[in-house]
A and B are shown apart, each in its own frame.
Chain A
Amino acid sequence: MIAISFTLVAVVSMVVMGVLLYSQFVGNLRQTVILENRQLVNQIALNINNYNARMRDISNSMYYNVIKKADLAQPQPLSREMSLIYEANTGSLVSIACFTEDGELVAAAPNANPKPDVEVVRQEWFIRANDVIENPHFSTPHVQNLFVDSSQRHHWVISLSRMVELTRGGGTERGVLLVDMSYSGIEMIFRQMGSDAAGYAYLIDKSGEIIYHPKQKLIFSGLFEENNLAAAEYVDGIHQESFDGAGRQVIVKTVSYTGWRIVSVIPNSEFAVTFSQLRILVIAIVGMTIFLVTIMNTFVSARVADPIKRLDQSVGELESGNLDLDIYIGGPYEVEHLGKTISTTVSQMRGLMDDIVVEQEEKRKSEFDALQAQINPHFLYNTLDSIIWMIESDRYKEAISMVRALASLFRIALSKGNLIIPIRAELQHAQHYMYIQNIRYKNKFTVEYDVDPSIEDCTTIKLIIQPLLENAIYHAMEMMDGDGEILIRGRRLNEDIYIEIRDNGLGMTPEKVAGLFSGEISSGTKGSGIGLKNVHQRIQLYYGSAYGLEIESELDVGTTVRIHLPARQDEAAQDKGVNAK
Chain B
Amino acid sequence: MKRWRGPLVAALFFACFAAAILWMVRDDQAVPRSESGIAVIACGSNSERWRMLDQGVRQACVDLGIEKPVISTARRTGSPLLSDLLQRQIEGGAKGLLIAAGEQRYQDRVAAAADRVPVVLLESGIGDTLTCIVADNAGMGRALAEYAAGEPGHVAVLASGLARRSVAERRDAFVQRMEELGKPVTVIECDNIQVDAKSFLASTLATHEPAINLLAALDNDALEMAVDAVPAAMVDIALCGVGSSDKAVYALDLGIVRALVFQNEYAIGYLGTMALAAEMGLAKAPGSAEIQYRLVTKETMYDPELEQLLFPIMQ
Contact = CB atoms under 8 A, between A and B. Distances in A.
Interface of A: 115, 117, 141-143, 145, 148, 152-154, 156, 183-184, 187, 214-218, 220-223, 277, 280-281, 284, 287-288, 291-292, 295
Contacts of A141: 313
A222 B309 CA distance: 11
Given A145-B302, A280-B25, A217 B247 contact: no
A192 to B, nearest CB: 14
Contacts of B271: 223
- Per CB-CB distance, the 4 closest pairs between chain A and chain B, nearest first, are A284-B21, A152-B250, A220-B308, A221-B267
A183 B246 CA distance: 18
B17 A142 contact: no
B18 interface: yes
Contacts of A216: 308, 313, 315
B59 A143 contact: no
A217 B17 contact: no
Given A156-B311, A221-B267, 11 more contacts: A152-B247, A217-B55, A217-B315, A218-B59, A220-B309, A223-B267, A277-B25, A280-B24, A284-B24, A291-B13, A292-B14
Given A142-B307, A152-B247, A223-B267, A217 B59 contact: yes
Contacts of A184: 314
B56 interface: yes
Interface in B247-279: 247, 249-250, 253-255, 264, 266-267, 270-271
A214 B25 contact: no
Nearest to A183: B313
A156 B313 contact: yes
A187 B312 CA distance: 13
Given A156-B313, A214-B315, A215-B59, A223 B13 contact: no
Contact of B309 (A152, A183, A221): A221
A187 B270 contact: no
A142 B304 contact: yes
Contacts of A187: 313-315
Nearest to B314: A184
A214 B62 CA distance: 11
Given A152-B250, A216-B315, A288-B21, A221 B264 contact: yes
Given A156-B311, A156-B313, A277-B25, A221 B266 contact: yes
A144 B32 CA distance: 42
Contacts of A277: 25
B201 to A, nearest CB: 21
Contacts of A115: 253
Nearest to B24: A280
Given A152-B246, A287-B17, A143 B315 contact: no
B131 interface: no
B195 interface: no
B36 interface: no
B313 A217 contact: yes
Contacts of B292: 221-222
B18 A288 contact: yes
B7 to A, nearest CB: 9
Given A187-B315, A217-B55, A221-B267, A153 B246 contact: yes
26 contacts: A115-B253, A117-B255, A141-B313, A142-B302, A143-B311, A145-B253, A148-B254, A156-B311, A156-B313, A184-B314, A187-B313, A187-B315, A217-B55, A217-B56, A217-B308, A217-B313, A218-B266, A221-B292, A223-B271, A223-B289, A277-B25, A287-B21, A288-B14, A288-B18, A288-B21, A291-B17
A153 B25 CA distance: 49
B1 interface: no
A133 B304 CA distance: 25
B10 interface: yes
Interface centre among A145, A216, A218 (most CB of B within 10 A): A218
Nearest to B274: A223
B311 A223 contact: no
A288 B270 contact: no
Nearest to B249: A154
Contacts of B308: 216-217, 220
Contacts of A215: 59
Contacts of B302: 142-143, 145
A220 B56 CA distance: 12
Contacts of B253: 115, 145, 154
Contact of A291 (B14, B56, B307): B14
Interface string B17-33: 11001001100000000
Contacts of B13: 291
B22 to A, nearest CB: 8
Given A184-B314, A214-B315, A223 B270 contact: yes
Nearest to B10: A295
A221 to B, nearest CB: 4
Contacts of B312: 217
A216 B312 CA distance: 10
A222 B266 CA distance: 11
Contacts of A183: 313
Nearest to B52: A217
Contacts of B55: 217
A148 B250 CA distance: 9
B18 to A, nearest CB: 7
Interface in B148-204: none
Interface in B1-57: 10, 13-14, 17-18, 21, 24-25, 55-56
Contact of B270 (A153, A218, A287): A218
A100 B8 CA distance: 92
B303 to A, nearest CB: 10
A154 B267 contact: no
B307 A143 contact: yes
Nearest to A216: B313
Contacts of B14: 288, 291-292, 295
A458 B311 CA distance: 130
Contacts of A223: 267, 270-271, 289
A152 B292 CA distance: 25
B229 to A, nearest CB: 18
A163 B278 CA distance: 55
Contacts of B289: 222-223
B21 to A, nearest CB: 4
Interface in B273-299: 289, 292
Contact of A154 (B59, B264, B304, B311): B311
A200 B267 CA distance: 21
B144 to A, nearest CB: 21
Nearest to B290: A222
Nearest to B251: A152
Contacts of B314: 184, 187
Contacts of A281: 25
A183 B308 CA distance: 13
B91 to A, nearest CB: 33
Contacts of A292: 14
Nearest to B309: A220
Nearest to B255: A117
Contacts of A218: 59, 266, 270
A16 to B, nearest CB: 20
Contacts of A143: 302, 307, 311
A26 to B, nearest CB: 16
A288 B17 contact: yes
A220 B264 CA distance: 10
B310 to A, nearest CB: 8
Which of A156, A217, A220: most chain B CB closer than 10 A?
A: A217
Nearest to A187: B315
Contacts of B56: 217
